[in-house]
């Protein structure tokens, strides 16, 4: 159609084109040749196409910088040059929080379909936002809940089934050592007393707390109204009980021996999902049936027909030994559950089979209108929740909260409860932080008084804690800790064990319980010289750097601990004793760091008590005061040497431990839990059920009796206490940290309104985050069906996949080419809940093929480079595993004085199997043999291995199994894949060494990476670098040649071409039997068995200050009311910049005097260590909350990305690391200028549009508008390009001659004329001599100086060949 333009329009464009061509040509005096008539049409068409293309492109690009959609403006002034550099995310563990990044569950290789939920059943988040931004998308099964010694609860289940029930769930477990409790329903003993009038109090309690239990996944039994789960041997007692143990009713030998199998094993070594169903029916004489994948697997006619009382406590994930508590970690559930349902009828097998795989459970879903706010959420683009109403369905937990209408499915979130999708309101509580309470006057302490300033207490209930992952300023030497505490009452009893009284309720026997008050983990301070440690570690991890606890176990056992209290004057029992650990780790390094001392406090009441502990470094003297009275020590371990009351009183060092030792000032502080790894690895046994008040740490040992007495007489603020002491002429040592639990010192979550942060009043601002251990949300791959077809599974995002390992898989590189010989770094991410096996992540063997024990070659160089036992890491290099000759010390302490003869650096004393993702790195260099273990970017262990050795090339690498001969002889249990070591689990000291869990992002380097490089890799793996900022990237020099940037949300990971990277396994294949080496070096991993590829759950981290993925804003906190809400969405009436972190402010009509959003990034940590991952939320009237650092607990949607990065600066000679989040602006003045720029631009837009005000519109609308402009613009570019090419092809007979005969000669003449304007010397090189001679004759005087200057600067004849002639010909050409 363009060729049929009107003639006058054609001539107009032709004239314009000629003018454009003639204007520059006239400058040099050359007139262009006129095009032929037909050529004018084509030139005119070309000009039209150019104009249209430029218009489209300018519209597209302008939408990137300035987007005006409706009335909102995104300022072009906020360029990428101002974006924050190298952000840090604090795991527990989201370490990938450390934090602490991915949480993963098994995925089918073919699970790539869309996951949007339909109205036929399940709810979902907006998948388009996740997929378009690089995030993963859950499948139809949504999410599951991963349990690992944690639980979910309903404290008062009002409508629990009474006379019949069915419990259904999908379960995934590889746990072989725990008696896993799936469900425990307990009632008050008074509720069942009428049915068991003649039973003793102890038996009645046991029966009440075991009212209905589903127990032991390895041999599942379900029991109602039993005292004992099993009783071996059992005896017949006649009706109504018949037998004492529940297991006796299952199988012929259920009451004779535990070795006989009586029911189904739900533990699957491959990690496959299985459906579990249990029915019980009182009308059928108490018949209990167990179904495995819909098939009857076991049953028992128990005769237990008493109704189940309502209003009891339901626990999923552990066994109750008292009402709502008294958990035992050996009975905890280590498994994932999904699609959990409770019915008030005993369902038949056909009913179970018909609904177990159906996405709707055979029920037509209805929209839930009970939530009044759901409409607002639907407007935000999130699908509503649906309910499944059935007259017999009592509760239905889908665990899909990350996708419901109260969440942003594209960002990580916190969820305090699992919704009941039956519509009955039986929501499962997943966890809640400690609560604030009012202080009460103690009964026993008559001199106690409260201060003038109202203070409160923090109440803990076993799974709750207060934590600071990156505590700074803990005294390295002398120290005093004081606090007030209240715990449960304890009394001795003739019944087995110990009775714990909780108010008016008597708690069941629980001899393994501990109350944990203070736990600080750090590391010892080494000198970086691994040759002078006499066989011990230069740097050791101290999980018990400071621990103060109370225990309830009676150790006065003549068989286990003979003579423990024989000479202990006035001490009759260890129940209620307190224990203090200083600079200790009892699991590693040959007990060289085993320092603890126990005091006979006899604390058995439930009153408030004042506790003060002081330790002096010079001599190790340790004192404990209870209510101002010094207590007597009766048991201790000092450098692994155990002493008891027989000799403590007779020796001058009776109360000394750890003399001369020290700990790093940086670490992790936890109240209410004991740490087994940095900031985590909690257990239910070592927890606090009680209250704390006024916790203080002093930099010095308080020895003044008068000061101690004064502190113990009143609970007052530190300010009031200073005044009191000053009046007496007394004082206190410098303060390290102070926690006073009052409302003004506590911040509350904007969403839940529960306390989430407690302020540290000390100078280091070590605020405590409040949280609780709870099950984690993970992507579910339960094999459901929809409309008769397999329902789609999760879809991978930018982070791709990971690999699940077990003993049914062998992942190996048979001949590794280029394995490092003199220096090496191995790093990877792992997640496991396995606490049974000593799993091996990395095994490299170089011995001969097919070695046998007879030839002596079986174990030759099978441990050339080995990282073993993920529960207690060890490292072997060229068969050097450290000093194992001190194994006696490891097991029994230094009872033979071996410490001075040989050390024990065999094990590190730290593991990583708490169910969260951890980054593990091991470095080794040959010259000194220095070997380092890093966990989540922190140095945990430094030892010497294989000094001067060289690792051979061409060996066999196996991931997840331990080789005792090259390529086989695995230390595995029977039934495992591959050639097994016949000594496994019998004579071998390690036992089973198979890796059970997930491994991700494994890299092998041929050099020792520094801590700074490791931490940069952690951030790259977590995608924490902004897309538009490449400052301080480890791969920045090589990334300029690539269009994709590494380490961003859309492209996580490091550059595979990084110098020194020998192998890189991303495990992103998602299908097949090969894991490719991304470096291109050809060291691909072969998977010998069917692999389990895992979709990496990949979401934005809301609140980390980095704008990425589907976030509309991220202002470095998760508070509402500051412009960017807790889901990282722009709030109504606000604007937020597209920067990291976002700056939010209110639009026109807001208060100009108001300070802008409190999104200031946290202050840098001391000595280069980050003190937090997020900033504490602002508290009205106190600006310190916006600048002081704190750390939040890990999100309950736990994943590789959600794990928290918690690194620290090196000590002992290695460079420090400064990775605290920094604001991209330099000052508040810059910040104010940015806001002014926003508002001035806004006013201009309003003035141009003639509008009087500004109305907010969500940023996803802008992105939608920008996307349309992009689409239109680039579509026109493509269309114009196609038309132009077509034109040139069709008119080539006209265009080509004109270009050849007319246009090119004209261009040549024009170039010659243009060279006349250049200096002579340069003109000779670029324009030829013909034009130069003419110009010199005309302007010789004018250019003479320039020619001289040109030659003076080295551009004379000697460089003639370096300048190419660009036109005018050479010599006499033209």
| Three-state SS annotation for 599-659 | ECCCCCCCCCEEEEEEECCCCCEEEEEECCEECCEEEEEECCEEEEHHHHCCCCCCCECCC
DSSP structure string for 249-264: GSSTTTTT-TTS--S-
pLDDT of residue 431: 81
C-alpha–C-alpha distance, residues 122 and 383, integer Å: 10
Q: Which of 942, 941, 963 is nearest to 865 (CA)?
A: 963
The proportion of the chain whose per-residue pLDDT surpasses 70, expressed as a percent, equals: 65
pLDDT of residue 369: 66
pLDDT of residue 704: 93
C-alpha–C-alpha distance, residues 1099 and 434, integer Å: 28
pTM: 0.76
If pLDDT is split at 50, 70 and 90, which confidence band does 361 have? confident
Consecutive H or E run containing 598:
strand 596-599
Average pLDDT, stretch 70-97? 30
- Return the number of other C-beta atoms located less than 10 Å from residue 1362's C-beta: 8
If pLDDT is split at 50, 70 and 90, which confidence band does 1319 have? low
| DSSP 8-class letter at 1117 | S
pLDDT of residue 1169: 34
Is the separation of the CB atoms in 893 and 642 below 8 Å? yes
pLDDT of residue 1186: 38
Structure tokens at 1161: 């990034």
Distance set, CA 898 to CA 536, 590, 1127 (Å): 12, 10, 58
The three-point CA angle 1207-1213-1215 to 5° equals 45
Helices then strands, counting H and E runs in the chain, come out as 17, 65
Buried b (16+ CB within 10 A) or exposed e, 954-968: ebbbbbbbbbbbbbb
C-alpha–C-alpha distance, residues 962 and 942, integer Å: 23
- 99-115 pLDDT, tens digit each: 333 333 333 333 333 22
Tokens 């934590």 found at:
467
Is the separation of the CB atoms in 292 and 251 below 8 Å? no
C-alpha–C-alpha distance, residues 130 and 72, integer Å: 24
Burial environment of residue 344 by CB neighbours within 10 A (0 to 12, 13 to 18, 19 or more): middle
Q: Which of 53, 59, 135 is nearest to 102 (CA)?
A: 135
CB-based contacts of 373, cutoff 8 Å, min separation 6: 406
pLDDT of residue 1162: 29
Query: What are the two backbone dihedrals, phi and then psi, of residue 243, each rounded to the nearest 5 degrees?
Result: -130, 160
Where is pLDDT greater, at 80 or 1312? 1312
Alpha-carbon torsion 493, 495, 496, 499, what sign? Answer: negative
Peptide bond before residue 240 is cis, with ω within 30 degrees of 0: yes
- 200-224 pLDDT, tens digit each: 888 898 899 999 999 999 999 999 9
pLDDT of residue 1174: 32
pLDDT at 920 over 50: yes
pLDDT of residue 928: 94
pLDDT at 832 over 80: yes
Partners of 145 in the beta sheet? 337, 777
- Pair type for strands 449-450 and 714-715: parallel
DSSP structure string for 282-328: GGGTTEEEEEETTEEEEEEE----PPPPSSEEEEESS--SBTTB---
Where is pLDDT greater, at 979 or 1197? 979
Structure tokens at 1084: 């691909």
Structure tokens at 67: 């987007």
Inter-axis angle of helices 1259-1290 and 37-65, to 10 degrees? 160
Is the separation of the CB atoms in 945 and 929 below 8 Å? yes
Where is pLDDT greater, at 1169 or 686? 686
Is the separation of the CB atoms in 335 and 329 below 8 Å? no
Partners of 299 in the beta sheet? 289
Distance set, CA 1058 to CA 589, 820, 1062, 1065, 1066 (Å): 35, 15, 9, 14, 15
Peptide bond before residue 1249 is cis, with ω within 30 degrees of 0: no
Q: Which of 405, 335, 467, 371 is nearest to 117 (CA)?
A: 405
Buried b (16+ CB within 10 A) or exposed e, 875-901: bbbbbbbbbeebeebbeebbeeebbee
If pLDDT is split at 50, 70 and 90, which confidence band does 1265 have? very low
Please, what is the average pLDDT of the chain? 75
- 510-564 pLDDT, tens digit each: 457 899 999 999 999 988 899 888 888 999 999 999 999 998 888 876 666 666 7
C-alpha–C-alpha distance, residues 321 and 332, integer Å: 12
Q: Which of 489, 496, 488 is nearest to 202 (CA)?
A: 496
**Of the ranges 17-31, 56-70, 1062-1076, which is most confident?**
1062-1076
If pLDDT is split at 50, 70 and 90, which confidence band does 197 have? confident
pLDDT of residue 1312: 66
Peptide bond before residue 38 is cis, with ω within 30 degrees of 0: no
Structure tokens at 1229: 């003045």
pLDDT at 366 over 80: yes
How many CA atoms within 13 Å lie on the side-chain side of 1339?
14
C-alpha–C-alpha distance, residues 1015 and 101, integer Å: 13
For 464-468, 757-761, 820-824, 1198-1202, which range has the lowest pLDDT when averaged over its residues?
1198-1202
Where is pLDDT greater, at 1077 or 104? 1077
Is the separation of the CB atoms in 1061 and 73 below 8 Å? no
Structure tokens at 132: 């378009």
- 1206-1219 pLDDT, tens digit each: 334 444 434 333 33
- 981-1033 pLDDT, tens digit each: 765 544 455 678 999 999 999 999 999 999 999 999 999 998 888 765 544 44
**Of the ranges 274-283, 374-383, 488-497, 1170-1179, which is most confident?**
274-283
pLDDT of residue 1359: 33
Inter-axis angle of helices 1304-1315 and 1329-1352, to 10 degrees? 40
Is the separation of the CB atoms in 1294 and 39 below 8 Å? yes
Where is pLDDT greater, at 996 or 1251? 996
Partners of 449 in the beta sheet? 714
C-alpha–C-alpha distance, residues 181 and 93, integer Å: 25
- Pair type for strands 236-238 and 221-224: unpaired
Query: What are the two backbone dihedrals, phi and then psi, of residue 1235, each rounded to the nearest 5 degrees?
Result: -65, -40
pLDDT of residue 376: 33
If pLDDT is split at 50, 70 and 90, which confidence band does 1072 have? very high
**Of the ranges 371-385, 465-479, 505-519, which is most confident?**
465-479
Longest dimension (CA), the chain: 132
CB-based contacts of 1309, cutoff 8 Å, min separation 6: 30
pLDDT at 1070 over 50: yes
Q: Which of 1225, 1219, 1208, 1192 is nearest to 1102 (CA)?
A: 1192
Is the separation of the CB atoms in 413 and 1127 below 8 Å? yes
3-class DSSP state of 801: strand
For 506-515, 615-624, 858-867, 1283-1292, which range has the lowest pLDDT when averaged over its residues?
506-515
> What sections of 842-909 are H helices per DSSP?
887-892
Structure tokens at 598: 């126990």
C-alpha–C-alpha distance, residues 727 and 724, integer Å: 5
**Of the ranges 201-210, 238-247, 311-320, 1227-1236, which is most confident?**
311-320
Is the separation of the CB atoms in 104 and 797 below 8 Å? no
pLDDT of residue 40: 61
Where is pLDDT greater, at 770 or 438? 770
Average pLDDT, stretch 219-235? 89
Is the separation of the CB atoms in 1142 and 1159 below 8 Å? yes
Q: Which of 169, 84, 179, 132 is nearest to 1049 (CA)?
A: 132
C-alpha–C-alpha distance, residues 1136 and 1142, integer Å: 6
Tokens 């593991």 found at:
911
If pLDDT is split at 50, 70 and 90, which confidence band does 447 have? low
């Amino acid at each position: 159609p363009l060729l049929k333009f009107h003639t006058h329009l054609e001539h107009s464009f032709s004239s314009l084109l000629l003018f454009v061509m003639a204007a520059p040509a006239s400058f040099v005096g050359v007139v262009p040749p006129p095009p032929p008539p037909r050529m004018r049409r084509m030139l005119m068409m070309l000009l039209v196409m150019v104009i249209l293309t430029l218009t489209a492109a300018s519209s597209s690009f302008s939408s990137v910088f300035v987007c005006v959609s409706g009335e909102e403006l995104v300022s072009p002034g906020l360029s990428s040059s101002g974006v924050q550099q190298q952000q840090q995310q604090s795991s527990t563990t989201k370490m990938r929080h450390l934090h602490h990044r991915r949480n993963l569950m098994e995925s089918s290789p073919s699970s790539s379909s869309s996951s949007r939920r339909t109205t036929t059943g399940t709810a979902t988040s907006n998948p388009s936002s996740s997929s378009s931004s690089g995030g993963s998308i859950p499948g139809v099964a949504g999410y599951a809940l991963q349990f690992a010694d944690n639980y979910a609860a309903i404290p008062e289940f009002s409508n629990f089934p009474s006379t019949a029930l069915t419990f259904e769930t999908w379960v995934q477990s590889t746990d072989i050592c725990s008696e896993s409790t799936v469900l425990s329903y307990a009632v008050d003993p008074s509720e069942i007393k009428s049915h068991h009038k003649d039973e003793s109090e102890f038996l009645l309690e046991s029966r009440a707390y075991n009212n209905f239990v589903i127990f032991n996944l390895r041999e599942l039994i379900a029991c109602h109204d039993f005292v004992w789960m099993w009783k071996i041997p059992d005896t017949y007692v006649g009706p109504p009980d018949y037998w004492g143990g529940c297991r006796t009713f299952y199988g012929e030998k259920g009451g004779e021996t535990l070795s006989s199998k009586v029911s189904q094993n739900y533990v699957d070594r491959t990690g496959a999902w299985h459906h579990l169903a249990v029915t019980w029916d009182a009308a059928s004489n108490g018949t209990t049936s167990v179904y495995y994948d819909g098939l009857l697997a076991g049953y028992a006619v128990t005769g237990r027909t008493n109704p189940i009382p309502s209003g009891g406590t339901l626990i999923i994930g552990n066994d109750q030994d008292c009402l709502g508590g008294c958990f035992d970690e050996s009975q905890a559930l280590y498994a994932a559950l999904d699609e959990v349902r409770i019915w008030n009828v005993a369902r038949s097998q056909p009913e179970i089979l018909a609904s177990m795989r159906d996405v709707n459970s055979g029920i037509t879903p209805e929209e839930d209108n009970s939530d009044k706010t759901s409409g607002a959420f639907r407007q935000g683009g999130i699908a509503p929740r649906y309910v499944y109403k059935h007259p017999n369905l009592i509760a239905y937990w889908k665990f899909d909260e990350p996708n419901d209408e109260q969440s942003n499915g594209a960002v990580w979130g916190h969820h305090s409860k699992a919704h009941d999708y039956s519509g009955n309101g039986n929501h499962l509580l997943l966890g809640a932080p400690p609560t604030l309470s009012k202080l009460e006057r103690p009964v026993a302490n008559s001199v106690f008084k409260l201060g003038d300033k109202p203070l409160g207490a923090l109440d803990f209930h076993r799974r709750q804690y207060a934590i600071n992952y990156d505590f700074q300023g803990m005294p390295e030497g002398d120290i005093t800790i004081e606090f007030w505490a209240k715990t449960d009452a304890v009394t001795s009893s003739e019944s087995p064990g110990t009775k714990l009284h909780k108010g008016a309720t008597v708690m069941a026997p629980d001899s393994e319980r501990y109350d944990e008050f203070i736990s600080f983990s750090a590391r010892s301070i080494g000198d970086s010289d691994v040759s002078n440690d006499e066989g011990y570690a230069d740097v050791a991890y101290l999980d018990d750097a400071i621990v103060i606890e109370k225990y309830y176990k009676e150790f006065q056992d003549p068989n286990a601990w003979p003579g423990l209290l024989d000479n202990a004057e006035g001490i009759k029992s260890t129940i209620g004793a307190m224990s203090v650990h200083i600079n200790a780790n009892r699991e590693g390094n040959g007990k060289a760091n085993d320092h603890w001392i126990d005091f006979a406090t006899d604390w058995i009441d439930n009153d408030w008590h004042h506790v003060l502990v002081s330790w002096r470094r010079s001599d190790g003297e340790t004192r404990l005061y209870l209510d101002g009275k010094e207590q007597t020590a009766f048991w201790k371990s000092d450098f692994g040497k155990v002493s008891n009351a027989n000799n403590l009183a007779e020796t001058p060092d009776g109360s000394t431990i750890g003399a001369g030792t020290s700990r790093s000032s940086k670490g992790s502080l936890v109240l209410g839990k004991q740490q087994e790894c940095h900031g985590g690895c909690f257990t239910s046994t070592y927890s606090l059920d009680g209250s704390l008040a006024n916790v203080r740490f002093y930099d010095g040992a308080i020895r003044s009796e008068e000061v101690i007495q004064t502190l113990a007489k009143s609970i007052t603020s530190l300010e009031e206490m200073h005044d009191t002491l000053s009046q007496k002429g007394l004082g206190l040592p410098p303060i390290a940290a102070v926690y006073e639990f009052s409302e003004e010192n506590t911040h509350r979550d904007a969403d839940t309104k529960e306390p989430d942060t407690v302020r540290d009043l000390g100078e280091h601002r070590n605020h405590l985050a409040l949280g609780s251990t709870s099950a984690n949300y993970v992507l579910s791959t339960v094999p459901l069906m929809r409309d008769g077809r397999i329902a789609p599974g999760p879809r991978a995002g930018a982070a791709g996949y990971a690999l699940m390992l077990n003993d049914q898989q062998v992942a190996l590189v048979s001949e590794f080419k280029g394995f490092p010989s003199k220096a090496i770094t191995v790093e990877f991410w792992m997640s496991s809940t396995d606490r049974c096996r000593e799993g091996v992540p990395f095994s490299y063997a170089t011995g001969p093929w097919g070695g046998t024990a007879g030839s002596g070659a079986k174990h030759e160089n099978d441990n050339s480079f080995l990282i073993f036992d993920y529960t207690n890491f060890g490292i072997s290099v060229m068969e050097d595993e450290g000093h194992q000759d001190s194994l006696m010390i490891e097991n029994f302490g230094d009872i033979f004085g071996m410490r001075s003869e040989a050390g024990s650096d065999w094990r590190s004393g730290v593991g990583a199997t708490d169910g969260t993702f951890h980054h593990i790195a091991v470095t080794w260099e040959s010259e000194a043999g220095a070997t380092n273990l890093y966990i989540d970017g922190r140095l945990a262990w430094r030892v010497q291995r294989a000094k001067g050795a060289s690792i051979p090339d061409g060996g066999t690498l196996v991931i997840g199994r331990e080789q005792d001969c090259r390529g086989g002889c695995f230390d595995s249990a029977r039934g495992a894949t591959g050639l097994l070591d016949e000594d496994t689990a019998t004579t071998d000291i390690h036992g089973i060494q198979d890796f059970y869990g997930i491994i991700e992002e494994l890299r092998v380097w041929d050099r020792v990476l520094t801590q700074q490089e490791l931490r940069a890799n952690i951030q790259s793996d977590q995608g924490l670098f902004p897309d538009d900022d490449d400052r301080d990237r480890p791969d920045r020099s090589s990334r300029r040649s690539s269009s994709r940037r590494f380490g961003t949300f859309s492209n996580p990971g490091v550059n595979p071409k990084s110098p020194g990277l020998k192998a890189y396994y991303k495990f992103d294949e998602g299908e097949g039997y090969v894991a490719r080496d991304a470096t291109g070096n050809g060291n691909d991993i072969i998977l010998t068995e069917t692999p389990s590829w895992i979709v990496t759950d990949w979401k934005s981290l809301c609140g980390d200050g980095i704008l990425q993925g589907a976030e509309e804003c991220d202002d470095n906190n998760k508070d509402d009311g500051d412009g960017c809400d807790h889901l990282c969405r722009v709030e109504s009436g606000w604007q937020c910049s597209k920067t990291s972190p976002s700056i939010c402010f209110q639009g026109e009509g807001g208060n100009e005097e108001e300070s802008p959003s409190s999104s200031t990034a946290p202050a840098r940590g001391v000595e280069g260590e980050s003190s937090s991952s997020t900033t504490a939320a602002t508290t009205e009237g106190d600006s310190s909350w916006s600048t002081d650092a704190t750390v939040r607990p890990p999100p309950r949607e736990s994943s590789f990305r959600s794990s928290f990065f918690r690194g620290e600066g090196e000590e002992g000679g290695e460079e420090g690391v400064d990775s605290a989040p920094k604001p991209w602006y330099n000052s508040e003045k810059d910040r104010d200028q940015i806001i002014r720029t926003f508002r001035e631009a806004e006013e201009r837009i309003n003035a141009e549009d003639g509008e009087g005000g500004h109305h907010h519109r969500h940023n996803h609308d802008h992105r939608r508008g920008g996307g349309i402009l992009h689409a239109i613009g680039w579509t026109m570019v493509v269309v114009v390009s196609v038309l132009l090419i077509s034109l040139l092809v069709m008119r080539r007979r006209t265009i080509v001659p004109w270009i050849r005969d007319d246009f090119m000669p004209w261009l040549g003449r024009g170039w010659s004329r243009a060279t006349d304007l250049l200096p002579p010397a340069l003109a000779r090189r670029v324009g030829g001599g013909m034009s130069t001679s003419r110009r010199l004759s005309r302007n010789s005087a004018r250019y003479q100086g320039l020619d001289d200057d040109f030659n003076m600067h080295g551009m004379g004849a000697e460089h003639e060949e370096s300048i190419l002639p660009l036109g005018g010909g050479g010599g006499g050409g033209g």
